[in-house]
Structure 1
Amino acid sequence: MTTDQAKSAATATIPLPRTLEQSGSSWLAALRRRGMSWQRPWLRGLLVAVALYLALRVGTLLVLDTYAEADPDHPTLRSLLTGWDAVWYGGIAEHGYDEAIPLGKDGEPELTNLAFFPLYPALVAAAKFLLPIHLTTALLLVAWACGLTAAAALYAVGAHLRDPRTGVLLAALWAVLPHGVIESMGYSEPLFTTLAAGALLAVLRRNWLTAGALCLLAGLTRPTAAALVLAVGLAALVQVCREPARWRAWCAMLLAPVGLLGYLAWVGVRLGRADGYFYVQSVVWNMSFDGGGYTRQSANAALLGKQPLEFAEVTLVLLIAVLLFVVALGERLPWPLLVYAGACLAIVLTGDGFYWAKARHLMPAFPLLLPVAYAMVRSRNRTVPYAVIGGMAVFCAFWSVHLNLTWDHSF
């Protein structure tokens, strides 16, 4: 018997895997397919979360559009969604940043776009350059795309912590926040929430390079990134102290503050003063930190009925946010999420100025919604999620009408 014949005879005695006999594919491919089937509930949940988020946001816009058409001034939905901060972002995307702080006829400094961070307008400029669309369309396109990615990222966080149902509810809750209409406007909150959720999920999974990179990008999006830098930096520091050889954690710790500090330094260089950005915020935009005195005074005025309805709503949101943070401590959420949420809350509560925008500034603090999602999952009453999400969706829709058609300040 030749060598080839011996090999053939030996091979013939080895039984073929059943999967190979039935489908003609290798057993390795069968295992891979089986692994994909394990992921199907997760993927189905992701699709449900994004679809539900989209449906809730479209519902809000339909209500707003209906009331806008009935308004005597007949504002268009596009004009409502691209006002206030969107005007500033659009100006940056089209013309770039101011060379210096503009001065009025009286010599006093006027508002400047140097207070707005660059990543969102950069994406808008890129979309306008690559696609034959108008600037306002680019503003909305980027914001809506970021809203969908934020829903996906929030779902991933919830699914990682508990299960796919928790992820779906977390994304839905974020869609129907009282100021949820911001998620459909030319604002940077959807982009920042995407990056923050992704960075914190990477921390929970110990994907340090991803966490550091996303935190860097978040630092180029909003000043609230200081809370994210604190959470990611501390988590990386703890990992480094436990295992000094983990070079990826070292990289995350170094990358996390680069975006935020880089933009602050750039503004300082442009204005020729080290505190350039803080000067813009405090002197030009009248925003600083006072330890919470302004917030307390504004809340007292709202409770005494001396302020508009928007102040009462913001006061209620702030109170609920504090209570949710206390509940989150009891839920024993992973400490990086608590650090991030607590820092976001502290930044908003201690900020001086623009009280009516504080509820919007809290929107990226998504870990505060996790206790609500957990409670709905634990409830044996199956109607609870529908009642909570539905009720919040109705309030969100009609509050967006008030914000856009009645309230005459930014929000």
Structure 2
Amino acid sequence: MNEPRSTTPRLLPRWAVPVTSGVTALLVWGLQMVTLQTWGASRGASLRGILMQWDAQWMTLISRFGYGGFAVGEAGTPGGDPIQWQSVAFFPGYPFLVRWVAAPVGAVTGLSGADATWVAALTVSVVAAVVMAWGVSRLALDHLWPAVTGRPAGEIASLVTPVVVTVLATAAPMGVVYWMPYSESLYTALTVWAVLMMLRRRYLAAGLLTLAAGLTRLTAAALILTLCLCAVAELWRWFRSGRRRAGFTTVARACAAPVLGAVGTAGYILWADGQAAGVGGYFAAQEQGWHSGFDAGAATLDWLRQWTFTGMTGYVISSWAMILVAVLVVASLWPLLGRWLPWQVWLPAVVTVAITLGSDGVMHSRPRLLLIPVLLLLLPFVVRLTAVLLRRPRWSVLLVPLVIGWTVLGFWVSGAMLIDFEYAI
């Protein structure tokens, strides 16, 4: 049988959790934009200029022109390398979704070209962030809260928890990227809902979400691996139950899910290999264009030795983000072994950390690349703390300064990395 969709008491309307998490996400978005606009104005920068840095340019150009037909620097010019040798590093899920949204946006607003794409990109990112917040809230209430407390969340907890975990997600250090023309909000939303479907044992839905995630980011490999282990777990459960016919449907769906989920990643890489054949295929293009390749953490360790205590603020922030996430992975063994963090949540987070820290590349982008592990691995601790404080009415007010403190920290790191740091993200 499937896991129950929700353990929220029936007295609470069904729309309460998505509305609470959505409104909270939009409030964070509004505050973040005001902060960036004010901070940027003091540096002579516009809000659009701030949000359109680095990968945002690539995403919007790919959305408008596809993987060729434009130039960035020397790439794509008559004397430079083909633009595809760099552009194929960006998976198509986000930019092509933006393209589809840009058409109705242009029809409604009268905008065209870069302006329509800009508005469409912001729309996709904000909507995806709201969907992500809803998924994080459902994950916290339906699975983590009962595991932590031994009972379903009450009405007050079912309203407070979405606020707290939405702030955890969207106001995190470097959480500004969720509101930019980047794929982070879309990919995180797909990841959270895929994990949620795994926990509910709705494996075909999880497979489809993983397929979409695999068209968005390469790190969807972490979800594919998790689906493989879900299939193994279902097979083992089926054999132990005496191979009953009633349970075979779930086993079949669990076994089909990782195959379905791998279609997106595998299909895109095969296509990208053809586009970058002149340089040796997708992974060779990653290495040549972005110096990105798996080296078992050698580049990460070298970076940490060089920049952890000295250098520009952005370098120091990037270094400590990597160190603290590694510590968080170790700390997460406590809730994992205590069975108040499901392994389906833990595994994709830890595999993402391994992929990120085990690869070379643009090191100062690591704080945003580690947002998903931070979210998934901190979530059980945040739910546990929320449960403890809500059980003691006098202590529950402590949630307010904790939420404000996390928001201030997140906004400061986001602003420092995006506005004051020369290399953005």
* C-alpha contact 1:144 1:183 (8 A) present in aligned 2: yes
Look up the match of 2:360: 352
Taking a change above 3 Å as real, the CA distance of residues 275 and 207 of structure 1, as seen in their structure-2 partners, is farther
* C-alpha contact 2:418 2:424 (8 A) present in aligned 1: no
Is 1:383 the counterpart of 2:377? The answer is: no
* C-alpha contact 2:140 2:383 (8 A) present in aligned 1: no
Instruction: Pick the aligned partner of 1:136 from 105, 118, 126.
Output: 118
Look up the match of 1:224: 219
User: Structure 1, unaligned stretches of length 5 or more?
Assistant: 1-34
Look up the match of 2:327: 323
Aligned with 1:178: secondary structure?
A: coil
Correspondence list, 1:83-122, <5 A:
83-98=53-68, 102=75, 112-122=86-96
- Could you tell which deviates more after superposition, 209-218 or 330-339? 330-339
- Could you tell which deviates more after superposition, 226-235 or 334-343? 226-235
Give the superposition deviation at 1:181: 0.8
Is 1:311 the counterpart of 2:312? The answer is: no
Matches of 2:27 and 2:216, distance apart in 1? 26
Correspondence list, 1:6-405, <5 A:
38=10, 40=12, 43-71=15-43, 73=44, 75-98=45-68, 102=75, 112-132=86-106, 133=111, 134-161=116-143, 162=145, 163=153, 164=158, 165-243=160-238, 245=248, 246-272=251-277, 276-305=281-310, 307-332=311-336, 333-365=341-373, 366-377=375-386, 378-379=388-389, 380=392, 381-405=395-419
Look up the match of 1:408: 422
Give the superposition deviation at 1:88: 0.6
Taking a change above 3 Å as real, the CA distance of residues 359 and 159 of structure 1, as seen in their structure-2 partners, is same
Taking a change above 3 Å as real, the CA distance of residues 38 and 375 of structure 1, as seen in their structure-2 partners, is closer
Aligned with 2:12: secondary structure?
A: helix
* C-alpha contact 2:8 2:142 (8 A) present in aligned 1: no
- Could you tell which deviates more after superposition, 349-358 or 213-222? 349-358
* C-alpha contact 1:99 1:270 (8 A) present in aligned 2: no
Aligned with 1:98: secondary structure?
A: coil
Matches of 2:378 and 2:166, distance apart in 1? 9
Q: Deviations over 1:217-250 (max 9, x none)?
A: 0000011111111112221232134337232212
Taking a change above 3 Å as real, the CA distance of residues 273 and 262 of structure 1, as seen in their structure-2 partners, is farther
Matches of 1:100 and 1:234, distance apart in 2? 42
* C-alpha contact 2:17 2:134 (8 A) present in aligned 1: no
Aligned with 1:194: secondary structure?
A: helix
Give the superposition deviation at 1:372: 3.2
Q: Deviations over 1:109-137 (max 9, x none)?
A: 76621110001111100011122241111
Aligned with 1:289: secondary structure?
A: coil
Give the superposition deviation at 1:275: 5.8
Give the superposition deviation at 1:103: 6.7
Q: Deviations over 1:271-291 (max 9, x none)?
A: 347961101111221111111
Larger Rg: 1
- Could you tell which deviates more after superposition, 91-100 or 80-89? 91-100
User: RMSD of the TM alignment (CA)?
Assistant: 2.5
Matches of 1:39 and 1:98, distance apart in 2? 54
Q: TM-score, normalised to structure 2's length? A: 0.82
* C-alpha contact 2:165 2:379 (8 A) present in aligned 1: yes
Percent same amino acid among aligned pairs? 28
Taking a change above 3 Å as real, the CA distance of residues 36 and 409 of structure 1, as seen in their structure-2 partners, is closer
Matches of 1:56 and 1:136, distance apart in 2? 20
* C-alpha contact 1:294 1:352 (8 A) present in aligned 2: yes
